[in-house]
Structure 1
């Protein structure tokens, strides 16, 4: 191929999370990934593919260890490794470890095993590549996340908090997922931040696992809870003799409709009674929870929130990189699963997203119905190159149909009408080191 390294086009993907126990071994985007790699197999560009961390879910393998995990990967995904070998004959493929596949940096034998498929495994935390007159800094991003930071890079015994979560929770979900009415539990690795997992599980229980008759019986009550709470308060005021006009007016009005009115009155009384009981129990529980939380905070038991800041640490890290390497104008990372572009210090922070399913929380618009987690795909590769003295960042999307028709119940689809997530990827961004261009706002 023609051209120098400075003219090279870089394609970046990350967070494939391929592999894991039982149901986690399913790769829903495998066909799209193979198509993408096949296109690079025939490209005449001077290109390099950078797989920027978490290509494989090695943490999620709990039945095997060490290099045995590579054996399992080879046996489970022969078409992927064959395609990597063919693509690697045409362009360089560089694999950077992340946190989920940190073991790739811990065993030197992995380098030889991947080299057999024309994949250059770099066992360092980060790499730098030239682009035009400038440079790109690549790292997975987990080192900026206190829950997944590898303190001693390359040590097989390093187990950050995220390791325990994935070996105990995510892998277990893969083992149990097919026992549900719908094989949904395996999607736990797509739930971010992890604090949303309990709410997500409640949502899937309500919309998927709950007995349909029970759910349909609860829906009217939950939808009417706000009204019922008001009715309960009015009923209490009536019983106390403070204000009886609303109850008397409603009773008089419904009395005109005979049996139908009596049935409606009975339904309102039941709803108001249940709402009143919930209010009586809920208010003291809320106050108790609030007081316990304040006490815990005073003692500093939980000084670090589990929710990771997905912005500030990466801005700080990019500034440091740009200050240490004046040629660097792009800080490219993954880890957070959120494809976006941001500007800092005359350079760009670029997130390569994920090929996993994404789950977008949509809170109930009425009543106490659980939120809906709307599924989507944003399969993308970041393309970085130099054009006319500028560094250009594009997102190329691999089209995949939305999974929502199959994965959402009718109730969930009705509750999210007009509230589907925006899955548009960031527009082309051009950075001129002397005159940086403001990039688009990050996509939801």
Structure 2
């Protein structure tokens, strides 16, 4: 485990970012937040604080480079982002810049040459899994967090040939998406990195096909049928009851009511009748298929074929990891990680769990309020750095998210149909409130034994 690099930590301010995922094949090389990142680094270049910038894993998408190997990936990064590396050099002349490997850039821990190459840009690459930094009377534990994710855990740390399940997903799916993204009607497939958890991938793909790739005439002709699906399903059931003589519905009266509106009413009645017919046929086929599907699933579950889920619990493993660190290192009160892309501050056993989020685009699912239209994945940014420092007046350590403003790309990336169906339901991402971890010399393991905010 890495330890403090310089001094005692008194008066030092820590800025923490993670999950930039810079680089990759073809379309993945676009960094949509590059201007904001450069501005942030420029601010640290000018600061008078005794500061350290910690980039807590997945700074680079080395898994997403599939056409070059080893240190050649660094050369690709240098060639593609010269402005970023020069800014890192300038920032590193004023503040300490420390880089930890994540799962996407685990290769940084596998080749010693990376240490020398980053040092040329005043970046201290730490090839260990975690580091500790003092802050006032307390200490901070930093690690990316993928070691607690069974799909991305590196069993043999530093092995350049380590290939967990997540490696194959990113080399076969994510990198492929980067190569194909510009072939669509809109360059959207590269956003595959922002889809979390991965179970949402099929739904996201179907949503983007419907709203982006489907022929517009076909889409607009389907919208009325999909919007009326719920009503039509109810009417189809009532019509079936009417045919069976169980319950009679006044269809003739309804037809007469629509006819009063002339051609528009007649067209609406025809559309509704057609919709009811189609839905009725779907229900006749769907009901037996539902029972067959349920029976097949029960049989599969008995054999345990799908016993392991694709996405692990994004919370509990990190609470457990924090408890272990706090118990082993009583002075440590802050467990800082990334990986899950969810900015959070949570109390756990006398300390706090801090997730620094991501600089990638965030996709917020918005299900249709009527009909069976595909959900809309509304894009936004939650760019921020976590600032950690000891404060004598607060008698503790202050942890807070410093927001970096970037407008939502929804206007450019969502179709008119998507924007129409999400009016009034646009996401408003918020960051956790400022938190003070108090200095408490009497803190004991017993007091850390229970945390009301942590899941059991």
Structure 1 length-normalised TM: 0.95
Given that 1:15 and 1:334 are in contact with CA atoms closer than 8 Å, whether structure 2 keeps it comes out as yes
Q: Per-residue displacement from partner, 1:309-346 (whole Å, max 9, x unpaired)?
A: 11111100000000000000000000000111000011
Alpha-carbon distance, 1:31 to partner: 0.5
Question: Which residue pairs with 1:229 in the alignment?
Answer: 233
Alpha-carbon distance, 1:243 to partner: 2.1
CA distance 1:258–1:43, change in 2 (3 Å): closer
For the pair 1:291 / 2:292, whether they are aligned, the reply is no
SS of the residue corresponding to residue 271 of structure 1 reads: helix
Aligned residues: 438
For the pair 1:320 / 2:324, whether they are aligned, the reply is yes
SS of the residue corresponding to residue 385 of structure 2 reads: strand
Question: Which residue pairs with 1:253 in the alignment?
Answer: 257
Alpha-carbon distance, 1:427 to partner: 1.6
SS of the residue corresponding to residue 205 of structure 1 reads: helix
Separation (CA, whole Å) in 2 of partners of 1:86 and 1:339: 28
The equivalent position to 2:401 in structure 1, one of 395, 398, 406, is 395
Alpha-carbon distance, 1:285 to partner: 2.5
Q: Per-residue displacement from partner, 1:68-115 (whole Å, max 9, x unpaired)?
A: 100100000000000000100111110000000000001111100101
What's the Cα RMSD here? 1.8
Separation (CA, whole Å) in 1 of partners of 2:262 and 2:205: 44
Q: How does 1:171-320 map to 2 (within 5 A)?
A: 171-254=175-258, 260-320=264-324
Separation (CA, whole Å) in 2 of partners of 1:322 and 1:400: 36
Separation (CA, whole Å) in 2 of partners of 1:139 and 1:88: 21
- Unpaired segments of 5 or more residues in structure 1? none
For the pair 1:379 / 2:383, whether they are aligned, the reply is yes
SS of the residue corresponding to residue 5 of structure 1 reads: coil
The equivalent position to 1:30 in structure 2, one of 31, 34, 40, is 34
Given that 1:234 and 1:247 are in contact with CA atoms closer than 8 Å, whether structure 2 keeps it comes out as no
Alpha-carbon distance, 1:416 to partner: 1.1
Separation (CA, whole Å) in 2 of partners of 1:103 and 1:256: 72
Question: Which residue pairs with 1:410 in the alignment?
Answer: 416
Alpha-carbon distance, 1:3 to partner: 8.3
Q: How does 1:24-173 map to 2 (within 5 A)?
A: 24-173=28-177
Question: Which residue pairs with 1:5 in the alignment?
Answer: 9
Given that 2:101 and 2:129 are in contact with CA atoms closer than 8 Å, whether structure 1 keeps it comes out as yes
Q: Per-residue displacement from partner, 1:241-299 (whole Å, max 9, x unpaired)?
A: 22223324323434555655443332222010111122122222322222222222211
Question: Which residue pairs with 1:17 in the alignment?
Answer: 21
Question: Which residue pairs with 1:426 in the alignment?
Answer: 432
